[in-house]
């Protein structure tokens, strides 16, 4: 097994609208030297500040993960980071000319496709792993959320989701080899329920939301007037609910696509630790806030174990 650090063999570019801000942005993901880690650079701001993809710099977790330092912030970093971690990219500089990473199709597939095109370049430093030495737990009993990690020789993850609705009930997704991320997890798109859309818009979120970048589940009967109102919010002439309970003619990429996307989000949020993990994760009803809290628990345990060894 090649445990050297890797960066990209060359840069690639992607462009699109941000899910929450609705702001169009271009990003360039460029190679970086060994030990650099993953960093973002806001090239649209004075002095073009750089901010590390660091769990300690998370500033907001409202329906996505935002990192910030002083006046510099980058919103919705999780899909990009999941793509880089899933492809074992240790070092990269992400240049962006706006506040939010483009949502693209709502998955990490575009990042994977571009990484596979440009390829990877090995670097003369060994990867440092977070090797889990003992079981760690996070639980929010009120919301039915729990995350658990135990020692393991590699990274594995099981995710369970549960929604009290007939259209989307209990689902599970698993990843036993990070090499399967590109085909098994990366194409899974973000999702929400139709009844959430209006609330999210009124809250100033999903300004860039579109039925082309998310799967929208319809879990209750909707009057035509309400559909028309939501269509106006989405700048669509008309919306309809198909016979499978999705808006328009959406077709799932996987039967358990929502669970796979939640798994993608966990990987993206754990990427903020800055190092690959050796451990088995089991997550029930995870979300960004829980993922980041859990990541900080892992970080604290890792730092403590290193101090003990000294």
pLDDT tens digits for 241-291?
Answer: 766 667 765 788 999 999 999 999 999 999 999 999 999 999 999 999 999
252 or 93, which is more confident?
93
Beta carbons of 121 and 37 less than 8 angstroms apart: no
Q: Confidence class of residue 62 from pLDDT cuts 50, 70 and 90? A: confident
Among 6-10, 43-47, 151-155, 205-209, the minimum mean pLDDT is found in 205-209
Q: Which of 20, 79, 261, 288 is catalytic?
A: 288
Catalytic annotation present for 13: no
DSSP label of 75: B
| Nearest residue to 263 via CA among 174, 198, 195, 132 | 174
pTM: 0.91
Q: How far apart are CA 14 and CA 29, in angstroms?
A: 8
Does any domain span residue 35? Answer: yes
Q: Is the pLDDT of residue 219 over 80?
A: no
Share above pLDDT 90 across residues of the chain, in percent, rounded to a whole number: 71
What is the CATH classification number for the domain harbouring 265?
3.30.230.20
Tokens of 206: 């999903």
Residue 129: the pLDDT is 96
Q: Is the pLDDT of residue 310 over 60?
A: no
CA angle 118, 185, 56 (to 5 degrees): 80
DSSP label of 188: P
Domain limits for position 82: 4-131+259-309
| Average pLDDT estimate for 21-27 | 93
Domain count, the chain: 1
If one counts every other C-beta atom within 10 angstroms of the C-beta of residue 222, the result is 16
Q: Is the pLDDT of residue 37 over 60?
A: yes
| Average pLDDT estimate for 213-227 | 77
| Average pLDDT estimate for 123-151 | 96
Does any domain span residue 247? Answer: no
Does any domain span residue 106? Answer: yes
Q: Please state, rounded to an integer, the average pLDDT across all residues of the chain.
A: 90
Does any domain span residue 110? Answer: yes
Q: How far apart are CA 178 and CA 6, in angstroms?
A: 15
Q: Confidence class of residue 223 from pLDDT cuts 50, 70 and 90? A: confident
Does any domain span residue 267? Answer: yes
If one counts every other C-beta atom within 10 angstroms of the C-beta of residue 163, the result is 15
Q: How far apart are CA 223 and CA 218, in angstroms?
A: 12
Residue 169: the pLDDT is 79
Beta carbons of 24 and 257 less than 8 angstroms apart: no
Does any domain span residue 287? Answer: yes
Does any domain span residue 291? Answer: yes
Beta carbons of 217 and 246 less than 8 angstroms apart: yes
Does any domain span residue 33? Answer: yes
Q: Confidence class of residue 76 from pLDDT cuts 50, 70 and 90? A: very high
């Amino acid at each position: 097994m090649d445990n050297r650090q890797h960066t990209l063999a060359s840069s690639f570019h992607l462009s699109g609208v941000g899910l929450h801000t609705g702001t169009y942005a271009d990003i360039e993901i460029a190679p970086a030297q060994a030990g650099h880690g993953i960093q973002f650079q806001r090239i649209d701001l004075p002095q073009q500040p750089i901010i590390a993809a660091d769990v300690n710099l998370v500033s907001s977790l409202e329906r996505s993960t935002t990192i910030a330092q002083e006046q510099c912030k980058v919103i919705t970093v999780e899909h990009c980071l999941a793509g880089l971690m899933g492809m074992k990219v240790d070092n990269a500089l992400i240049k962006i000319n706006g506040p939010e990473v483009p949502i693209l199709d709502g998955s990490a597939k575009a990042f994977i496709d571009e990484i596979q095109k440009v390829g990877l370049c090995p670097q003369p430093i060994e990867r440092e792993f977070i090797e889990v030495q003992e079981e760690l737990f996070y639980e929010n009993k009120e919301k039915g959320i729990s995350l658990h990690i135990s020692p393991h020789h590699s990274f594995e993850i099981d995710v369970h989701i549960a929604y009290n609705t007939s259209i989307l009930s209990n689902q599970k997704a698993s990843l036993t080899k990070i090499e399967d991320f590109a085909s098994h997890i990366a194409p899974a798109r973000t999702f929400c329920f139709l009844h959430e859309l209006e609330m999210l818009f009124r809250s100033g979120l999903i300004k860039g939301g579109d039925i082309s970048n998310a799967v929208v589940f319809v879990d209750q009967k909707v009057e035509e007037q309400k559909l028309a109102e939501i269509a106006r919010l989405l700048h669509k002439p008309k919306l309809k609910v198909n016979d499978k309970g999705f808006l328009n003619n959406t077709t799932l990429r996987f039967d358990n696509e929502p669970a796979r996307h939640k798994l993608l989000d966990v990987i993206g949020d754990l990427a903020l630790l800055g190092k690959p993990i050796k451990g088995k994760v089991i997550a029930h009803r995870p979300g960004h806030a829980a993922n980041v809290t859990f990541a900080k628990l892992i970080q604290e345990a890792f730092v403590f174990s290193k101090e003990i060894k000294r």
